[in-house]
């Protein structure tokens, strides 16, 4: 199987590194030539929960060099999904599948609109990674990945992908209800990511202060209310307990949104808390805490130039 991993950030680097240990033909599509040159010359160096090791996936910034692929694994930020799908069209052949391992809501819909729903595989992962620099990542947490189609069917391609991922050391299972899994992760992220980005606290600290613990609970409760109105069946019974458990189990982790804020990059707020605000409006449900978190993160994004950095 020829797999093209799209995006050389924290998760794209992690997945391409692991997959390169398999017998599959792995390519990493980077954002520019400099990234590709670094990865091709030095490989990807990993530290963290999986040990210290090096992988050598093939990297290119030219989609035409990669050629046709059997699977395109989308690991770009959600706001770049549309541009990524337009970019990878030369990779696609009749049976090519496109799998998203991204945060938030809307990615499956964007990919379906541009490339056809029959190609799309949804995915969620508990793997955690931090990009130190191009070609160097910290593997912060190891966990399960789940993949599936919106139809709930498990075609042969899903089974092949699951087998390849598991051989590479990525614990992966097929799911018949990927929509519920995406929403379940979204609700947890709605309580953690924006709050950690605003306070600049690692996940575990969010439950140690009364103010952040209260805001986390309010954000998660609002998101769960929206999911319930949409008749989404969550994979856990108690969203609040689940969010707090995730904070504890990933105590030292710096959320992806906090990583973006620290590096003065655009965040995925519109696809996480912002999505809860948007859907809440459509359903007539007030979600003031999610709106507050969205507004604050967007203000931080818009004001990078004016922020004071006191050393």
pLDDT 10s digits, 248-300: 988 888 899 999 999 999 999 999 999 999 999 999 999 999 999 999 999 99
Q: What is the pLDDT of residue 309?
A: 67
Alpha-carbon distance 303 to 251, whole Å?
28
- Three-class SS state of 4: strand
Q: Which contiguous run of DSSP H or E holds residue 196?
A: helix 178-199
Q: What is the pLDDT of residue 250?
A: 86
Alpha-carbon distance 271 to 96, whole Å?
26
Per-position b or e across 7-39, b if 16+ CB within 10 A of its CB:
bbbbbbbbbbbbbbbbebbbbbbbbeeebbbbb
Average pLDDT over residues 172-184: 95
Q: What is the pLDDT of residue 188?
A: 97
Q: Which contiguous run of DSSP H or E holds residue 181?
A: helix 178-199
- Does 311 score more than 60 pLDDT? no
What domains does the chain contain, in order, with CATH numbers?
A: 2-176 (3.40.50.720), 179-306 (1.10.1040.10)
Q: Give the model confidence (pLDDT) of 106-143 as tens digits.
A: 999 999 999 999 999 999 999 989 999 999 999 988 89
Per-position b or e across 142-167, b if 16+ CB within 10 A of its CB:
eeebbbbbbeeeeeebbeebbebbee
Per cent of the chain over pLDDT 90 is 91
Average pLDDT of the residues of the chain: 95
Alpha-carbon distance 181 to 165, whole Å?
19
155 versus 41: the higher-pLDDT residue is 41
Catalytic residue among 33, 82, 179, 185: 185
205 contacts 248 by C-beta, under 8 angstroms: no
Q: Which of 140, 104, 136, 142 is nearest to 122 (CA)?
A: 104
Instruction: Please indicate whether residue 185 is annotated as part of the active site.
Output: yes
Average pLDDT over residues 233-240: 95
3 contacts 164 by C-beta, under 8 angstroms: yes
- Does 192 score more than 60 pLDDT? yes
Alpha-carbon distance 247 to 240, whole Å?
11
Q: What is the pLDDT of residue 23?
A: 84
Q: What is the pLDDT of residue 310?
A: 56
DSSP 233: P
Q: What is the pLDDT of residue 88?
A: 97
Alpha-carbon distance 85 to 136, whole Å?
26
- Does 162 score more than 80 pLDDT? yes
Average pLDDT over residues 226-248: 95
- Does 147 score more than 90 pLDDT? yes
């Amino acid at each position: 199987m020829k797999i093209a991993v799209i995006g050389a950030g924290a998760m794209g680097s992690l997945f391409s590194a692991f997959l390169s240990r398999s017998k599959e033909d792995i390519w990493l599509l980077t954002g520019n030539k400099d990234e590709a040159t670094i990865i091709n010359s030095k490989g990807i160096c990993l530290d963290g929960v999986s040990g210290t090791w090096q992988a050598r996936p093939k990297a290119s910034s030219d989609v035409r060099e990669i050629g046709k692929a059997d699977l395109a694994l989308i690991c770009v930020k959600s706001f770049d999904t549309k541009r990524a799908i337009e970019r990878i069209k030369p990779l696609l052949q009749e049976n090519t599948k496109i799998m998203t391992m991204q945060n938030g809501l809307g990615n499956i819909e964007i990919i379906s609109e541009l490339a056809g729903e029959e190609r799309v595989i949804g995915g969620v992962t508990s793997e955690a990674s931090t990009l130190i620099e191009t070609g160097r990542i910290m593997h912060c947490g190891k966990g399960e990945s789940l993949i599936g189609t919106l139809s709930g069917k498990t075609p042969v391609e899903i089974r092949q992908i699951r087998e390849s991922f598991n051989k590479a050391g990525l614990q992966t299972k097929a799911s018949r209800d990927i929509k519920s899994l995406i929403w379940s992760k979204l609700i947890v992220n709605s309580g953690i990511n924006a709050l950690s980005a605003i306070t600049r606290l690692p996940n575990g600290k969010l439950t140690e202060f009364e103010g952040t613990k209260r805001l986390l609970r309010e954000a998660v409760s609002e998101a769960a209310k929206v999911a319930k109105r949409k008749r989404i069946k969550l994979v856990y019974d108690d969203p609040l307990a689940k969010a707090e458990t995730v904070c504890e189990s990933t105590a030292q982790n710096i959320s992806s949104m906090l990583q973006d804020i620290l590096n003065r990059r655009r965040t995925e707020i519109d696809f996480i808390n912002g999505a809860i605000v948007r859907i809440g409006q459509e359903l007539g449900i007030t979600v003031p805490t999610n709106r507050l978190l969205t507004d604050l993160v967007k203000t931080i994004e818009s004001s990078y130039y004016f922020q004071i950095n006191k050393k």
